[in-house]
Amino acid sequence: MMKENYDRWYKTKEANYRVGDTVLLQDNRIETNSNRLLKRKLYLNDKFTIIEVIEHSGIGPAYKIMNQRTGKMVKNLVNFDRIKRLVTPNAGT
């Protein structure tokens, strides 16, 4: 009941990423004793492809992603709040 009320009040959305989607990965790591300021451009410049969606009933989905440029897998699973779908305008329209 509490989750439904929270979701309705804050208008939460379900993660709707699928295998094969191209996404950007948010880099939110700040090293200890760093003087780095958080800014709006937190997403890495590389494009990533979702390879596998891992779902569990108690928590939301997590994703295995691969760097398109290097072909390397990201070491850990990535939660949906750290990725953003890459939308490219169609060249034909």
CB 24 within 8 A of CB 49: no
User: Could you report how far apart the first and last alpha carbons of the chain are, in Å?
Assistant: 46
* pTM for the model: 0.68
What domains can be seen in the chain, in order of their start residue? 13-29+38-85 (2.30.30)
Span 18-35, mean pLDDT? 81
> Rounded to whole angstroms, how far apart are CA atoms 26 and 55?
21
pLDDT tens per residue across span 41-60? 566 678 999 999 998 777 77
Span 12-26, mean pLDDT? 85
pLDDT over 70 for what percent of the chain? Answer: 81
